[in-house]
Structures are given as structure tokens and as C-alpha cells.
Amino acid sequence: MANNLLQGKRGVISGALDENSIAWKVAERCVAQGATIVLTNAPVAMRMGEINNLAEKINAQIIPADATDMADLENLFGKSVEILGGPLDFVLHSIGMSLNVRKKKDYTDLNYEWMQKSFDISAISFHRMMQTLYKMDAMNDWGSILGLTYIAAQRTFPDYSEMAESKALLESFARSFGYHWALKKQVRVNTISQSPTKTTAGSGVKGFGEFYDYADKMSPLGNASADACADYCVAMFSDYTRMVTMQNLYHDGGFSSMGMNPAVLGL
């Protein structure tokens, strides 16, 4: 399915940790569609080294950046514009991590320092990225910025814990900054609300396996895969979606519109 939908476009993709990462698939799909990209991830993620295999495969450079560090982000976007030969047409924020979930703290016993760090990594980093790009004037006219989110921002999924609030914040930043980006450069900002997906971040949530199966049954089309999410990201980076902005877009096989699915009850 290579239609050169992103021919000539330049982009930065964060969050490819290993080949299960949603960002990994997005990077592959964007390049297959004609884009040239720069990959980025936290310096600690570099140590795993798998991102190097991706970079080699798609002929992309990697610029390490902690998404909570403004100097790293300035370096990231400054160098990306230099390497790619001009301002960016698209940026993917695919970053999430909860310290309280990782340290198995119950929602009724959260550590607030960890919570603030979780919000910074998972949500405020989206604002940090957009503000850095804005001040550096590093986006092209009619560019597209995307973040990845989950329906726990709207509904309660107890084991998702403080990530629910992280996602609510992330989605709100897309709406608020989307206004400013529209005025500045006709750049659109959206979040894609993805089905549960078997990745490092996803599998960190307690009971993920059972929950994955439940969501799969509840969704008439089944869970959306990481590959399908990558296709949707390509569509959102392409010129076919120029007037879509400040939206939270469900990519979930219909999960968000279901009340009850007989399949869940085995009927």
C-alpha cells in the first residue's frame, strides 16, 4: 500500500523503542509513503539499542532527547530541520510512562512527586514539543502534529491509574495548542485514541492481557492493531486531512460507541 501519500514531506517521530512500539510502525509506514524522517527517543531508551536497527532499515538518523528537557527538544528540532533540509511537515508524540503504575502504587495511595513526573513525561512533554517547535518556527504551513492517547481519558478503567489524567491533559493540550498553531501556520493538532496494543507501555498496565481480550470482543471490528494505527497516522500526516484539527480521533474498531456487545457475554 505505497501511494506516496507523504512524498517530499519531512517529519520527526518519537517513541520507537522496539518493533512492537506503535511509533516503530508509524516510522516504517511514513518512509514507505515517501517521507524522510528523524527518529528520537529518551537517552535511556538508546541503551536498549533496538532503535538503531530501525534507523538502519529506513535510513533515518536518531537524535536522542528526553521529552521533559527543553534543551534536548531545542537540539532535536534544530538538528532535524538541518538534517532534513527544511521545516517539518509532521511530528508524532508517542510517549507515555507512569511511575506510580510502574511501581505498582494503588490509585488510592499515589505518590504525588511520581504523579507530577508521569504528567510531565506523558502529557506536558506534548506541550513542550509544540512550544519548542512554535518558538523555533520549525513547522511548515499546513503541517500536522499528532499525539497518541487512550479512552481512559473519558471513561474509568481502574488499572490505568494516573495515566487516565495524563491522557486527559494530553488531549486538552491538543485542543488548546491546536488553536494557536492554526493561526500561526495552518498546522493541525490532533490526538488518536488507540485500542489496547501489545507494547512495552501497554503491557505495563495490570491485567493488560485480559483487558486486551475484553476490548477485542467489545469492538465490532476487533482491536485496532499498531499497523492499522500507523496507517491512520499516515492519513493524518497526508494532505487529505488538512481541515481536521483540535480533535480526539477514536481508532478503536468501534469500542467507544458500544454499550454492550453480546460477544462479550458469549451470546
* Residue with smaller CB distance to ligand NAI, 97 or 236: 97
Separation between Cα atoms, residue 90 and residue 52, nearest integer Å = 21
Supply the minimum distance, in Å, between the C-beta of residue 215 and ligand NAI: 9
CA 166 to CA 76: how far, in whole Å? 23
Task: Give the helix/strand (H/E) hosting 45.
Answer: helix 43-46
Calpha distance 23→13 (Å, rounded): 7
Active-site residue, from 107, 112, 134, 150: 150
Residues of the shown chain interacting with ligand NAI in the complex, contacts defined by CB under 6 A? 14-15, 17, 21-23, 41-42, 45, 66-68, 94-97, 121, 148-150, 194, 196-197, 199-202
In the complex with ligand NAI, the residue whose CB is nearer, 67 or 228, is 67
Which of 112, 160, 212, 232 is the catalytic position?
A: 160
Q: How far is the CB of 97 from ligand NAI (least distance, A)?
A: 4
Question: Residue 83 annotated as binding?
Answer: no
Q: 15 or 253: whose CB is closer to ligand NAI?
A: 15
> Which residue of this chain has its Cβ atom nearest to ligand NAI in the complex?
202
Say whether 105 counts as a known binding-site residue.
no
Of the candidates 83, 119, 80, 84, the residue with the CA atom closest to the CA atom of residue 99: 119
Beta-bridged to residue 148, according to DSSP, are 192
Q: Is 160 a catalytic residue?
A: yes
Question: C-beta of 72: minimal distance to ligand NAI in Å?
Answer: 8
107 is catalytic: no
Please, which residue, 33 or 199, has the CB nearer to ligand NAI? 199
Four-residue CA torsion sign, 190, 195, 199, 200:
positive
For 92, 173, 180, 266, the CA distances from 27, given in Å and listed in that order, are 9, 23, 27, 38
- Bridge partners of residue 91, in order along the sequence: 12, 145
* Catalytic sites, residue numbers: 150, 160
Q: Which residues fall in the annotated binding site?
A: 15, 21-22, 95, 167
